[in-house]
Amino acid sequence: GAVVSQHPSWVICKSGTSVKIECRSLDFQATTMFWYRQFPKQSLMLMATSNEGSKATYEQGVEKDKFLINHASLTLSTLTVTSAHPEDSSFYICSAEGAGNRGEAFFGQGTRLTVV
Amino acid sequence: SQQGEEDPQALSIQEGENATMNCSYKTSINNLQWYRQNSGRGLVHLILIRSNEREKHSGRLRVTLDTSKKSSSLLITASRAADTASYFCATTDSWGKLQFGAGTQVVVTP
């Protein structure tokens, strides 16, 4: 299947700093990328949907100024958690979908963010 | 909000037994997918079943879909310790948006 690489796998940062997470589709062009967060022992919650070259669409309750999403190319989307706080500590996962595999999303390995 | 609800929430079985979990959803879907997640890791896609399909097999996995009841089931036959993981169903609507269920934690003991 298609490969999606997410980087970093884990990050620890201080409160007030910003953290950038990258999501890359390695062997296909991702027309759409999705960002999820997952709290311990809970399911994934969709945060936002991004299409290449356009602004991301955020789910209700997700602050777009806090979670900046950029999908500048067909193989890269980034999620920046700005002014991170301990409550932002979570597992963030991206997924990517290409024009050739509509409806089937391929997931990155996730990023464990811990804000101290 | 969560689209899918899964039951049971947790399942403990012995190696060799079958594991069955169910997923119900609320709105019309294009397809339904099942994923596996090992603790602290990303999701692994298991199987996709389209709305016009009723049953699909992949190795030891069997998925059914009943659109009239808005439900799906995942059966893992002859389970192994390595099948220990959380299993999620996810539905895709006509916009391509994935909505995940709460997941079923499966523990397979040797």
CB contact under 8 A, B98 and A105: yes
Q: To probe the interface with B, which of A43, A50, A95 has the most B CB atoms within 10 Å?
A: A43
Mean pLDDT of A101-113: 80
**What sign for the dihedral angle of Cα A56, A107, A20, A44?**
positive
How would residue A1 be classed by pLDDT, with cut points 50, 70 and 90?
A: low
Say which residue, A96 or A18, is predicted with more confidence: A18
Give residue for tokens 């960002």. A35
Q: Is residue A101 pLDDT above 80, yes or no? A: no
How far apart are the C-alpha atoms of A91 and A93, rounded to whole Å? Answer: 7
Question: CB-side exposure of B3: number of CA atoms within 13 Å?
Answer: 24
How far apart are the C-alpha atoms of B58 and A66, rounded to whole Å? Answer: 41
How far apart are the C-alpha atoms of B105 and B110, rounded to whole Å? Answer: 16
Q: Report the residue from A32, A107, A112 with minimal CB separation from B96.
A: A32
